[in-house]
Structure 1
Amino acid sequence: MTLPDRSSLSRRDYLRALVAVGGATALSACVSESDDVDVPTGTDDPDSLPARQHAWNDALSRDDHGNVQPPEHHVLVALSLIDEPSDDGRERVEDALEILERAYEWSNEGLVFTLGYTPAYFDRFDDSLPETVDLPEPEPLTDREDPTFDEFDAVLHLASDRSQVVLEAEAGLFGEADELNGVDVETGLTGVFERVEDQRRTGFVGEGLPAEHTELSGVPDSIPDEAPFFMGFRSGFDRSQATEDRVTIEDGPFGGGTTQQISSMDLQLRIWFEQDNHYQRVTKMFSPEHADEELVGDIGEALTSTNALTDERIESTQDDARTRGVVGHAQKAARARVDGEPPLLRRDFNTVDGESPGLHFLSLQEDIEAFVRVREAMTGDDLGVANANNGIRSYIFVTQRGNYLIPPRSLRALPPANPTGDDSSEET
Structure 2
Amino acid sequence: MTLPDRSALSRRDYVRTLVAVGGASALAACLETVRNDEERTVPSGTDDPESLPERQHAWNSVLSTDEDGNVTPPQHHVLVALSLVDGVDPAAEESRAAVEEALRTLERAYEWSNEGLLFTLGYTPAYFARFDEPLPSSVDLPDPEPLIRGGDPEFDEYDAVLHLASDAPDAVLEAEQALFGDRERSNGIDLEADLTDVFESLADRRRTGFVGDGLPAEHADVPGVPDSIPEEAPFFMGFRSGFRRSQATEDRVTIGTGPFAGGTTQQISSMELQLEVWFEQDNHFQRVSKMFSREHAEDELVGDYGEALADSSGLTDERIAATEADAREHGVVGHAQKTARARDDGEPPLLRRDFNTVDGDRPGLHFLSLQHEIGDFVRVREAMNGEDLDVPRANNGILHYVFVDRRGNYLLPPRSLRALPSPTPDGEDERG
SS at match of 1:32: helix
Number of residue pairs the alignment of both structures matches: 426
CA distance in 2, matches of 1:175, 1:199: 17
CA distance in 2, matches of 1:262, 1:271: 25
Query: 2:406: which partner in 1?
Result: 400
Query: 1:16: which partner in 2?
Result: 16
Give, in angstroms, the shift of residue 183 of structure 1.
0.7
SS at match of 1:47: helix
SS at match of 1:106: coil
Give, in angstroms, the shift of residue 114 of structure 1.
0.2
Give, in angstroms, the shift of residue 423 of structure 1.
2.3
Q: 1:44 aligns with which of 39, 44, 47?
A: 47
Give, in angstroms, the shift of residue 174 of structure 1.
1.3
Query: 1:305: which partner in 2?
Result: 311
Give, in angstroms, the shift of residue 21 of structure 1.
0.3
Give, in angstroms, the shift of residue 38 of structure 1.
1.7
- Unmatched tracts of structure 1, length 5 or more: none
Query: 1:137: which partner in 2?
Result: 143
Query: Percent identical across equivalent pairs?
Result: 71
CA distance in 2, matches of 1:383, 1:97: 47
CA distance in 1, matches of 2:293, 2:284: 13
Letter in 2 for 1:41: S
SS at match of 1:157: strand
Q: 1:370 aligns with which of 366, 371, 376?
A: 376
The equivalences for 1:353-392 within 5 A come to 353-392=359-398
Query: 2:29: which partner in 1?
Result: 29
SS at match of 2:410: strand
Query: 1:84: which partner in 2?
Result: 89
CA distance in 1, matches of 2:223, 2:329: 37
CA distance in 2, matches of 1:102, 1:60: 19
The equivalences for 1:196-345 within 5 A come to 196-345=202-351
Write out per-residue CA displacement over residues 168-197 of structure 1, whole angstroms, 9 at most, x where no aligned residue. Answer: 000001132211111111101011001011
Letter in 2 for 1:204: F
SS at match of 2:64: coil
Contact 2:24-2:181 at 8 Å conserved across structures: no
CA distance in 1, matches of 2:368, 2:223: 25
Q: 1:64 aligns with which of 64, 67, 72?
A: 67
Write out per-residue CA displacement over residues 363-419 of structure 1, whole angstroms, 9 at most, x where no aligned residue. Answer: 000000000000000110001110000000000000000000000000000000111
TM-score, normalised to structure 1, is: 0.99
- Unmatched tracts of structure 2, length 5 or more: none
Query: 2:111: which partner in 1?
Result: 105
CA distance in 2, matches of 1:181, 1:121: 31
SS at match of 1:246: helix
CA distance in 1, matches of 2:419, 2:261: 15
Say yes or no: does 1:349 pair with 2:355: yes
CA distance in 2, matches of 1:44, 1:385: 57
SS at match of 2:409: strand
TM-score, normalised to structure 2, is: 0.98
After TM superposition, which residue ranges in structure 1, 4 or more long, deviate above 4 angstroms?
A: none
SS at match of 2:426: coil
Contact 2:338-2:384 at 8 Å conserved across structures: yes
SS at match of 1:330: helix
Query: 1:188: which partner in 2?
Result: 194
- The RMSD of aligned alpha carbons is 0.7
Decide which moves more: 363-372 or 171-180. 171-180
SS at match of 1:391: coil
